[in-house]
């Protein structure tokens, strides 16, 4: 018996900038039928040469895809593009693949539902060069059956990770992960500025600072289990000892261009816990 070939997935890529261009290229290479629309049409001409189908309007692009990827600058652009659509989009899945806030995700989900389609929010933890390569992770949240239906296509772009059915879950993950990076990187920059201003050997210090950052990474599982079990053992230091160090650091950081990194707020929280008789607990107690 001859096997009937499965039809190629039909994907619309709306916005062919850096991410959208890489996404469209990867989907084409993966055997998808890709319709592209870009506000500035000339920016999608190369993709058309490479096999993408040019759409004359955003509505035409969306009509040509079962999976619609909005790879746009931000949610203001997503709102504009969704407002331009007025046909029934039943059966389609619309993915906003751009950095946004939880409110942005909820409002896009409402608009997409009003058009009859399923919504997925996506947080792109990747650069254009890593789309489709092992290093890319893309976080999705929203309509789980729609994610599962399109998972094989989404896998072409990088490790797809479904993080929750609330539409805003991917945005929360995405921003919180940026927060981890900024806090660590800005912490490193503050430390480098501190030692440079003190005339200390910056290169030698930086090597040891790398080891210190490694302690944070190694401590992640322990910190999480303390939090989940609501048990805050002192570990390497008690809150009373942390407070003394944090106060000294606030003094050392005065005058830094990047400020003190929120240490006074942390000190105030530690003081509150000590006043409650919890000075023997560990640092995780500050968010317990
Ligand atoms: N680039 C990265 O490394 C990276 C990494 C992670 C996440 N992200 C996120 O991915 C998203 C896309 O980034 P990108 O780097 O691809 O941006 P980009 O290269 O600047 O492309 C933005 C796209 O949005 C379109 N656009 C902007 N405003 C529009 C509007 N009002 N109506 C219709 N189309 C509009 C642009 O069209 P025109 O060509 O007409 O201007 C262009 O196609 C952003 O949310 C970004 O934060 C990017």
98 in ligand 1 pocket by Cβ < 6 Å? yes
* Closest among 9, 264, 18, 238 to 128, alpha carbons compared: 18
The pLDDT value recorded for residue 111 is 98
Report whether residue 57 contacts ligand 1, using a CB cutoff of 6 Å: no
Q: What is the pLDDT of residues 70-103, one digit of tens each?
A: 999 999 999 999 999 999 999 999 999 999 999 9
Residue identifier of the C-alpha nearest atom 33 of ligand 1: 39
Region of residue 2 (left: phi > 0; alpha: psi -120 to 50; beta: else): beta
Cα–Cα distance, 90 to 121 (Å, whole number)? 18
Regions in the chain scoring below 50 on pLDDT:
none
Q: Which atom of ligand 1 is found nearest the CA of 76?
A: 31
Q: Where are the domains of the chain?
A: 10-173, 219-287
pLDDT value for 114: 97
- With tokens 């290229």, the residue in question is 25
Residue 79 beta carbon below 6 angstroms from any ligand 1 atom: no
Strand partners, 96: 70, 121
Cβ contact 204:195 at 8 Å: no
- pLDDT for res 3: 67
Closest CA to 68 of 89, 53, 40, 42: 89
Q: Which atom of ligand 1 is nearest to the CA of 58?
A: 33
Q: What's residue 193's pLDDT?
A: 96
190's CB contacts (< 8 A; 6+ apart) are 253, 256, 258, 261
Longest alpha-carbon distance in the chain? 79
pLDDT of 133 reads 85
The DSSP 8-state label assigned to residue 12 in this structure reads: E
pLDDT tens column, 125-166: 999 999 998 788 999 999 999 999 999 999 999 989 999 999
Record: fold of 10-173: Rossmann fold (3.40.50)
Nearest to 258 by CA among 198, 206, 190, 164: 190
- At 41-50, the pLDDT tens digits run 999 999 999 9
């Amino acid at each position: 018996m001859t096997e009937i070939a499965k039809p190629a997935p039909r994907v619309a890529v709306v916005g062919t900038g850096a991410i959208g261009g890489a996404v469209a290229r990867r989907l084409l290479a993966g055997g998808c039928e890709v319709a592209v629309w870009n506000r500035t049409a000339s920016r999608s001409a190369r993709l058309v040469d490479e096999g993408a189908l040019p759409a004359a309007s955003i509505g035409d692009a969306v009509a040509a895809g079962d999976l619609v990827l909005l790879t746009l600058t931000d949610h203001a652009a997503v709102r504009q593009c969704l407002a331009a659509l007025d046909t029934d989009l039943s059966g389609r899945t619309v993915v906003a693949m751009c950095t946004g806030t939880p409110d942005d995700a909820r409002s896009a989900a409402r608009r997409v539902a009003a058009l009859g389609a399923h919504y997925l929010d996506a947080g792109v933890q990747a650069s254009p060069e890593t789309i489709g390569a092992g290093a890319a992770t893309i976080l999705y949240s929203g309509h789980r059956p729609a994610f599962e239906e399109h998972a094989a296509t989404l896998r072409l772009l990088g490790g797809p990770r479904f993080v929750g059915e609330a539409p805003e879950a991917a945005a929360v993950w995405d921003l919180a992960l940026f927060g981890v990076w900024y806090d660590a990187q800005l912490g490193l920059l503050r430390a480098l500025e501190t030692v440079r201003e003190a005339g200390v050997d910056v290169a030698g210090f930086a090597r040891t600072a790398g080891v210190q950052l490694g302690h944070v990474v190694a401590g992640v599982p322990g910190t999480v289990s303390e939090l989940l079990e609501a048990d805050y053992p002192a570990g390497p230091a008690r809150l009373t000892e942390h407070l003394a160090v944090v106060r000294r650091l606030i003094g050392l950081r005065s005058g830094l261009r990047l400020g003190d990194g929120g240490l006074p707020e942390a000190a105030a929280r530690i003081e509150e816990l000590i006043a409650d008789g919890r000075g023997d607990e560990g640092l995780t107690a500050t968010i317990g």
